[in-house]
Amino acid sequence: MTVVVRSSRLWISAFRRAVSKRRDGLEVVQQQQQQQRASLGYAAAVREEEEDEYQEYPWANAGLEEQGRGVQWVFLGCPGVGKGTYASRLAKLLQVPHIAMGDLVRQELSYATPIAKQLKSAMSQGQLLPDEVIFRLLSKRLEHGASCGESGFILDGFPRTVNQAKTLAELAEIDMVMNLKLRDDVLVTKCLGRRICAECGGNFNLAQIQAEGSANSPPIFMPPLLPPPKCLPKMTIRADDTEEVVRTRLRLFYEESKPVEDFYRKQGKLLDFEVAGGIPETWQRLLTVLNLEEKNASQSQLRDASRKKMTA
């Protein structure tokens, strides 16, 4: 028991050091960003307008004025709902890293490390991954980000238990928790339509979903996300994308997720969001809910202006 306590203290300390490094380096990063913008020819007036615009959005600005950092958000949602898609888009818009625990686990499994051995052992026995290992991976990722000047984060699919949520709360202030929801029948169809290109790694979906509405949910239309012709012969299906496995995953997810949702709901940090369409429609609705429409448009204009200057 003593060994576990010591080990836990070690990774808690490592996590705190990672968060501290990110905050300490923020002022340097901001100066570097200003120099980079100036080198790209952005006018000071445009920069000031963008900064003023950012202050208008309460969700995007939560905790930033006092702590001087990027947003620290969590994205929850059942398998196949699109957490990764929308979390990564928002991370890019808000200029914070998108951290998906599944990606961290898969990356670590590709290395011959003691952590990888622990992960393989737990997964082969069908056990939940130990919290200690999960937080060590997260600490490692944050420390790497600190060395690159990152600030803030969007966590994708984590925490999954109340204990993880409580530990995370001791180590970092979570500003908001986005909880994506989608009907089970649509989720199953969507998961069964998923395809991955064996060559480029691109993710696609062959399912065309047209679900009728009910008293409790609106009608849902999701067009397929088809691969380009060059990827068609190389389409693969995930081994766990069968109806039986998908429904089992959903059942286990609901059993796990409700206590976590309740934990954040009691704190007033949980925002439920119903997915009711494809990526273009859902993305615009999400921007509206988060009051980020103008910021998205502003960044698009800046990107267009930058491209024109580069081609001039």
Residue with tokens 């998205």: 296
For residue 224, what is the DSSP state?
-
For residue 277, what is the DSSP state?
B
Q: At what angle do helices 279-289 and 83-94 cross, to 10 degrees?
A: 50
Yes or no: say if 96 and 150 are a contact pair by the CB < 8 Å rule: yes
The pair of structure tokens assigned to 27 is: 């002022």
Q: At what angle do helices 26-39 and 2-24 cross, to 10 degrees?
A: 40
**What's the 3-state SS for 112-137?**
CCHHHHHHHHHHHCCCCCCHHHHHHH
**∠ Cα 181 169 156 (to 5°):** 35
Distance CA 70, CA 73 (A): 9
Yes or no: say if 56 and 49 are a contact pair by the CB < 8 Å rule: no
Identify the CA nearest to 277 among candidates 239, 240, 232, 223: 223
Residue with tokens 């925002």: 271
Q: What is the largest CA-CA distance in the chain?
A: 66
Helix, strand, coil abundance in the chain, percent, nearest 5: 60, 15, 30
The pair of structure tokens assigned to 87 is: 């979390």
Active-site positions read: 83, 160, 194, 238, 249
Q: Which helix (H) or strand (E) holds 72?
A: strand 72-77
Distance CA 93, CA 87 (A): 10
Yes or no: say if 290 and 57 are a contact pair by the CB < 8 Å rule: yes
